[in-house]
Structure 1
């Protein structure tokens, strides 16, 4: 079995825990048993990606017609390359994507690369264009497949990639073009044919699923090369090369305004996308015949529609999805609507289902189903035989572990606004006078949903009640709820989170002496900032990869953002002064535990280092754990196990449990 090696890697040890981790920490800290499943065009084989010990992954093939089970064909170490996804280009060949964080010069950078491989593990080839000693720069993005040319089935795909100019002095072969381009690439021979020439300022293309580029998006920049906060979408009519204006989208502080194209239906000759309707987001279509006829396809008065449901090798649009208390889907395709209704009856214990992949004729469907007390499992449905078969569960190590039910709740904020969220109580608990954790989500432009969450389930298993508030600043609830985002509107967001803690005490759910707050990313920021706003409310604070100073994060973002867009995201210097917990270490009363990966590309580890230094300098109780070689998600079994074990021990010690 070949192992893919892009660069020499040194094994980096995780900071060891002070004692052997608990069984619960190992069970919940393990990564998902399956991270990807894809089905071949003929429906006769599956490709499955699973984790290996530590942070690696293995790609295996399952022939559905020979009964021999899974055959591993490729492994990646995770040091530094991570196998993110694979998809079949033919019945015998796959295209896979890698994400790598490695040293370039004196700094760590994240970059992607694509490669192809036969289903027997042979003939690995790099699909991403190679640079050379004459290249005037490095393309961190290795390109991406935008059309699988499903009807052809000959192994060619359309790829978009960034063309990097080369030195031409003394050379007649150096190329000077720069910008995003589209190529037709043979995934076996690597032969390439240009479909769209490199264009500067282009951010992406959308095809019709049949090999024709119909949409282009331009990203205007300032004279300094920074994002101007606008995206211009253009389209082509059928059998016409002229680009015509379609829509303009403006972005401000994490919220966008304008029609965002996502998928083209070549038969109806329309493009589907998301746009605002009555303060919410809905699904629209716009005709691409030159008339620009715009129609509202689907919307909800109570929630933003946030996803198009797509299926098959042509990614055709068959429905739309949104979240209220639970995620729901409206199917536009009548046969699939009937199938979805039947599936919900067949899987009563796993009401959340989604399409993962399909054979070329869509007669075989790969599905994923999960619930609050079921981490989820992949299924294969055969339309011809009407048989539904389980492929693999996501977390088999939790099969005999009783998981906690997740209940949608709402609680009053200080101004009377009802804030939605989810409450998870320990299995078998009466829900009274419990050690309790408030667990705000990251983002801040994100939201929690009703499903299995390994963090909240671990803490519930260990006897804690857990509240996950969708504070103001969360997405999915419309413009008025989003406010000015969780950074500029941090007082409202953190206020809602803290009010969630107070509500837990008033309801008798939380023992006020055993109330803690735990968060990851922005959630970690909120956990820390709560320690400056109401220092005695929470008795212990755990922050994973947190933002700790607005100006530090602003510096990380400034290379690609204008001063105006940074102001729209982070506010003024006054906002930074008031809203940065690292500047108010003297206010902390509760002990603090920090975790951070030293290759974090989302939030620099410098943020946690600053916070730890400031707290230590102020004479406060702080512990800081750095994980070597890991990024924002800490995708390593040992690291996550260690994090859970340390956090549980810390909370129990701090709250005298």
Structure 2
């Protein structure tokens, strides 16, 4: 394969189709950066003849489009979800001519916000539509796909809410029992022949609460009884967690710990359960396994140091990825999908200054064709480079972070600045495109995103006891990010903090521990009261896990912004969706009451019917405009 491959355009009209509804809006920075990505989900048919993709609609829901991969093909919409309350979450190819989609949404049920889901199958022309297992109404706990059964056209393997496994026709709902119901079975892993090989078990308590320990059982290739394989504690990350059966072998790939960091390992499914480490990084956690094709063949793993990296176990895929990165001028490249024979590949490529675009690569013809742009509103906009840096915390620890400056600027001196802590807290920021950081850079701000202690991705020692129980260290690191900006020359009177979810919590709590540091505080969907959070989470099946995660002790009061609102000096602006199941809007309302009781200025902007991500262009555009005006006061 040549190292320089021809890049030829395809579906130019698709780009205009996706961009035009948004381009009719006001062309200001908030509208451009607040526009949600044009592609929610994308997949390649098993024979490579068609591509299906989900794109947000202008009416608040999203649409499923199908287009041929031949030159001159035009996309056609074959399914629409209106977003009130149902959305298309994913769509993939069951066969070269039939598609399966997962749909769902959120609704209120008394004081609770509940999630519902169901699956629908349809032909690639939109005909012969059927709801799987007759779930033509909203189902709180719908069936889950566990195998595509590629050797059996138009049949899939599902696990029902009761734990039974069935093979089901996607044409007439004909159902055949494969494995009887087990109340403790919450999932299965299958091999490439469609055999059940690993049972995932979690024994709920008498109150229906999910337990922190998941147990795994293996079945021999020839069948028989389930035998204990491993156990995994989701709170500590200890123990082996299988996620995929290795093709053509009697092993399972999964995650385990090596020297306190998450690694890729594999385990034998028969005989002695010996665990072998396939890849571990000495500094950071492995974040994911890379798979391709309908069968999900494991080809590599992903980790992130200063920048994201992929390591490939498959020599052919490794060589392909290297040449594609060369052809695409050093952008990050991820293989999204592949045909059954792996002759065609669907790719994504992007960087800090490129929000991302999709390509089709024909390995036989050595032809690379651009397909779709993820954020057409930003085409032609000069985006800012993202620089990995580190700064010293109060105790001398070096904290990794990402600095985004306005286009053309080389330093922080003289620029208004924003610290933007990430959510989670079991998460981290990575190098690449970030729509909020890029927006603020366009507006003239220096933006610093710290991976404070308590962040995931750097191993157990860095994670500590998580960002709530170790809040003093985590929030202290966030405050020290602001001090670093001032030391670099940012005006102290123009320093603000903006955070989402846990980042919103950290923003508010920074105002508690350093009242005069940040002049403005913006918190989006924040946690504000840890004791209240424990009570709210107790209503859900994950309540025991969340309760233990938050913990008990003095930190519930000392680490809650709402309990210490009188210490905050800066004006506060809050945003929250009314259907937020991750962090209930009651958290923001509690903060408003506490700040008003303390005589502090505060405003809460509510977005009716929206969830934690505030995932509409209208909401995000409105939010960016309001933040811009707030910071300018």
Same fold per TM (> 0.5)? yes
Shift of 1:366: 0.6
Rate the CA distance shift 1:117–1:440 in 2: closer, same or farther, 3 A. same
Aligned residue number for residue 156 of structure 1? 155
Which residues in structure 2 correspond to 1:48-63 (within 5 Å)? Answer: 48-63=53-68
Residue 581 of structure 2 corresponds to residue 595 of structure 1: no
Aligned residue number for residue 177 of structure 2? 194
Which residues in structure 2 correspond to 1:502-581 (within 5 Å)? Answer: 502-508=483-489, 510-560=490-540, 565-566=545-546, 568-581=548-561
Residue 379 of structure 2 corresponds to residue 399 of structure 1: yes
Q: Is the 8 A contact 2:218 2:270 kept in 1?
A: no
Residue 479 of structure 2 corresponds to residue 498 of structure 1: yes
Residue 61 of structure 2 corresponds to residue 80 of structure 1: no
Comparing 64-73 with 429-438, greater Cα deviation is found at 64-73
Comparing 364-373 with 561-570, greater Cα deviation is found at 561-570
Shift of 1:303: 1.1
Aligned residue number for residue 248 of structure 1? 231
Q: Is the 8 A contact 1:38 1:47 kept in 2?
A: yes
Shift of 1:204: 1.2
Rate the CA distance shift 1:121–1:284 in 2: closer, same or farther, 3 A. same
Shift of 1:430: 3.7
Match among 236, 255, 262 for residue 219 of structure 2? 236
Residue 380 of structure 2 corresponds to residue 375 of structure 1: no
Residue 307 of structure 2 corresponds to residue 302 of structure 1: no
Give SS of 2:222's match: coil
RMSD, matched Cα: 1.7
Distance in 1 (CA, whole Å) between partners of 2:71 and 2:445 is 47
Aligned residue number for residue 408 of structure 1? 388
Q: Is the 8 A contact 2:209 2:544 kept in 1?
A: no
Q: Is the 8 A contact 1:55 1:635 kept in 2?
A: no
Q: Is the 8 A contact 2:117 2:139 kept in 1?
A: no
Residue 95 of structure 2 corresponds to residue 90 of structure 1: yes
Match among 405, 421, 424 for residue 404 of structure 2? 424
Give SS of 1:344's match: helix
Distance in 2 (CA, whole Å) between partners of 1:399 and 1:22 is 12
| 1:84-128, Cα deviation, whole Å (9 max, x unpaired) | 110011111100011211234564311111111111112221115
Shift of 1:189: 1.5
Shift of 1:506: 1.0
Give SS of 2:476's match: helix
Shift of 1:458: 0.4
Match among 632, 636, 645 for residue 625 of structure 2? 645
Give SS of 1:513's match: helix
State the number of aligned residues. Answer: 608
Distance in 1 (CA, whole Å) between partners of 2:536 and 2:180 is 32
Rate the CA distance shift 1:564–1:52 in 2: closer, same or farther, 3 A. closer
Shift of 1:419: 0.6
Distance in 2 (CA, whole Å) between partners of 1:585 and 1:467 is 25
Distance in 2 (CA, whole Å) between partners of 1:562 and 1:345 is 45
Aligned residue number for residue 214 of structure 1? 197
| 1:5-53, Cα deviation, whole Å (9 max, x unpaired) | xxxxxxxxxxxxxxx9771000000110111211111110111111111
Shift of 1:159: 1.1
Distance in 2 (CA, whole Å) between partners of 1:425 and 1:353 is 25
- 4+ residue stretches of structure 1 with deviation over 6 A? 561-564
Match among 621, 624, 630 for residue 604 of structure 2? 624
Shift of 1:68: 2.8
Shift of 1:562: 8.7
Shift of 1:568: 3.4
Give SS of 1:452's match: coil
| 1:346-372, Cα deviation, whole Å (9 max, x unpaired) | 01152x111211112111111111100
- TM-score between both structures, scaled by the size of structure 1: 0.90
- TM-score between both structures, scaled by the size of structure 2: 0.93
Distance in 2 (CA, whole Å) between partners of 1:239 and 1:537 is 65
Q: Is the 8 A contact 1:358 1:364 kept in 2?
A: yes
Which residues in structure 2 correspond to 1:36-51 (within 5 Å)? Answer: 36-51=41-56
Give SS of 1:338's match: helix
Distance in 1 (CA, whole Å) between partners of 2:378 and 2:247 is 45
Distance in 1 (CA, whole Å) between partners of 2:576 and 2:420 is 17
Distance in 1 (CA, whole Å) between partners of 2:188 and 2:577 is 34
Aligned residue number for residue 64 of structure 1? 69
Distance in 1 (CA, whole Å) between partners of 2:384 and 2:542 is 45
Shift of 1:66: 6.2
Distance in 2 (CA, whole Å) between partners of 1:349 and 1:426 is 22
Distance in 2 (CA, whole Å) between partners of 1:66 and 1:387 is 13
Q: Is the 8 A contact 1:517 1:542 kept in 2?
A: yes
Rate the CA distance shift 1:565–1:126 in 2: closer, same or farther, 3 A. closer
Residue 123 of structure 2 corresponds to residue 118 of structure 1: yes
Give SS of 2:554's match: helix
Q: Can you give the 5+ residue segments of structure 1 that lack an aligned partner in the other structure?
A: 1-19, 133-137, 164-179
Aligned residue number for residue 21 of structure 2? none
Rate the CA distance shift 1:441–1:21 in 2: closer, same or farther, 3 A. farther
